[in-house]
Structure 1
Amino acid sequence: MAVIKEGGKAPAFKGIDQDGNTVALKDFLGKKVVLYFYPKDDTPGCTAQACNLRDNYTALIEKGFQVIGVSVDSVKSHKKFENKYHLPFPLIADEEKEIVNKYQVWGEKKFMGRTFMGVIRTTFLVDEAGRVHKIIHKPDTQNHTEQVLEAWAA
């Protein structure tokens, strides 16, 4: 599998969001996409990240961005997460790990002395032509929108 690089083509994907809608990257050609991968619905860091994007969603839309979240949680879990925090963007359920594997964000993690496999929090900024403009390897969950805007401007 080729390593995803800035300037390279973003891997195509298609998945189901929390409302049962099919979401595909090709549907967003002509728009800038904030494609963020997160470990788990309704956990402290993931909630902070989603709520930061929610709180700044209007500003992101005004600047031409579309936000898409992806985790390996179920559609039902995503729906509960969306409802609890009033999230205005699609959350793709990747239970089969197809998208996380394409984007190479499924890997070994360590937490509290334990090693396990999981989603490595990563954000891909995809340009209007479907190319990876920037990869944010360590998103700041509290200030993610600011990080996105700075990375896009760089």
Structure 2
Amino acid sequence: MTARLAPGDPAPDFTLPAHDGSTVTLSQLRGEHVVVYFYPAAMTPGCTTQACDFRDSLDALAASGYRVLGVSPDPAATLASFAERDGLTFPLLSDTEHAVLEAYGAWGEKTNYGRTSVGVIRSTVVVDPAGRVELAQYNVRAKGHVAKLRRELGLDGG
């Protein structure tokens, strides 16, 4: 099992390809709050619910100084279809090798419907402007997660 991050830990830097053909490097976003959320698979019901919740909260998060990045093991082409289908306007990043997922503690053993498997642990890590972990949540629920996150960050309207 990969180690989980805790508040105050340095956020592991990464560069990943995005759904739109660009690349995103976390350290280039220093000076901003960055919500990095990890999800198992594009276009599945739970991941769609969570992504659409982030999409619908994007303006409020941005107004409070938060940028959103979604990370999954899907290839960029799948993420492009997901973004287009659901009107997702924030970067969806492809981590097909699981390196970033592992570095953030979002890859490992999990139990679903009584079966144990290895895969993405639905997680959210908020990185502060200095590049340190502000908040780390693991095994989050897709439904209602964004509202809960906004409340925990002290943002209005969550």
Please classify the TM superposition score into its range, dividing by the shorter chain length. Answer: over 0.9
Pairwise CA distance, 1:113: 3.6
DSSP 3-state at the match of 1:115: strand
CA RMSD of aligned residues (A): 1.7
Q: 2: distance between equivalents of 1:63 and 1:11? A: 23
Pairwise CA distance, 1:3: 4.9
Q: Which amino acid aligns with 2:37?
A: Y
Where does residue 8 of structure 1 map in the other structure? 9
Q: Is the 8 A contact 1:31 1:127 kept in 2?
A: yes
Residue deviations 1:19-38, cap 9 Å, x none? Answer: 11110111211111110000
Q: Structure 2, unaligned stretches of length 5 or more? A: none
DSSP 3-state at the match of 1:118: strand
Number of aligned residue pairs: 154
Residue deviations 1:31-57, cap 9 Å, x none? Answer: 111100001101111111000010111
Where does residue 152 of structure 1 map in the other structure? 153
What pairs up with 1:31-46 in 2 under 5 angstroms?
Answer: 31-46=32-47
Pairwise CA distance, 1:144: 2.5
Q: 2: distance between equivalents of 1:147 and 1:42? A: 22
Q: 2: distance between equivalents of 1:90 and 1:54? A: 11
With structure 1 as the length reference, what TM-score do the two structures score? Answer: 0.93
Q: 1: distance between equivalents of 2:141 and 2:114? A: 22
Q: Which stretch shifts more, 34-43 or 113-122?
A: 113-122
Q: 1: distance between equivalents of 2:89 and 2:142? A: 17
Q: 2: distance between equivalents of 1:70 and 1:115? A: 22
Q: Is the 8 A contact 2:5 2:136 kept in 1?
A: no
Residue deviations 1:86-133, cap 9 Å, x none? Answer: 001001100011101111211112223432211000000111111101
With structure 2 as the length reference, what TM-score do the two structures score? Answer: 0.91
How many percent identity over aligned positions? 40
Q: 2: distance between equivalents of 1:27 and 1:2? A: 24
Which contiguous aligned blocks of 4+ residues in structure 1 show a shift greater than 4 angstroms? Answer: none
Q: 2: distance between equivalents of 1:50 and 1:112? A: 23
DSSP 3-state at the match of 2:9: coil
Q: Which stretch shifts more, 64-73 or 137-146?
A: 137-146
Q: Which stretch shifts more, 138-147 or 76-85?
A: 138-147
Q: 2: distance between equivalents of 1:137 and 1:104? A: 8
Where does residue 94 of structure 2 map in the other structure? 93
